[in-house]
Amino acid sequence: MLYRITNSADWQQAQQNGFFASPDLAAEGFIHCSEKSRILETARLYYAGCAGLYLLEVDEPALAAAGVQVEREWVERRQQHFAHVFGALPLAAVRRVWAFGTKAVEAEFTLPDEL
């Protein structure tokens, strides 16, 4: 599975359109996604202080079946490979969605219990 953090406005737009197309798809030509082991690091680096977030769990074989290309590309500044999705995510490929945010007291992201 792949994971994508998004804000409530982009998630609501996806529900209306039937697919998720983030601003990075328009700007860079792909949607940034993470493996499970990198969700929290990504959240801390790019979403600190943000409220109203969602975590999307995306089925990679479902993307392939829909003809959406996924490539793991080396990200120099993080010294890791990350999944880049070259197209909009059909909602049929989004298996689970969680409200995702910080604990009020610790101000740290935590993974959903189901993960």
pLDDT digit string, tens, across residues 58-94: 999 999 999 999 999 888 887 888 899 999 999 999 9
Phi-psi region of 43 (alpha: psi -120 to 50; beta: other; left: phi over 0): alpha
Is residue 111 in a domain?
Answer: no
**Is there a domain that residue 60 lies in?**
yes
Is the pLDDT score of 107 beyond 80?
no
Domain membership flag for residue 29: yes
Q: What integer pLDDT is reported at residue 8 of this predicted model?
A: 92
Does 110 fall in a domain? no
Q: Are 60 and 67 in contact (CB under 8 A)?
A: no
- Cα(90)–Cα(9) distance, rounded to whole angstroms? 17
Decide which of 111 and 58 is more confident: 58
* Number of domains forming the structure of the chain: 1
The 10s digit of each residue's pLDDT in 20-67 is: 999 999 999 999 999 999 999 899 888 888 888 999 999 999 999 999
**Of the candidates 75, 91, 93, 90, the residue with the CA atom closest to the CA atom of residue 34:** 75
Domain range for 56 is 2-100
Nearest 5 degrees, angle CA 85-CA 50-CA 87? 15
Query: Residue 105 falls within a domain, yes or no?
Result: no
pLDDT surpasses 60 at 103: no
Q: Count how many residues are written for the chain.
A: 115
- 115 in any annotated domain: no
8 Å CB contact between 100 and 43: yes
The first and second tokens of residue 43, run together, are: 């959240």
Q: Is residue 107 part of a domain?
A: no
- pTM score, two decimals? 0.89
Q: Is residue 108 part of a domain?
A: no
Give the model's pLDDT for residue 77: 81
CATH code where residue 84 lies: 3.20.170.20
Predicted confidence at residue 105, as pLDDT, reads 42
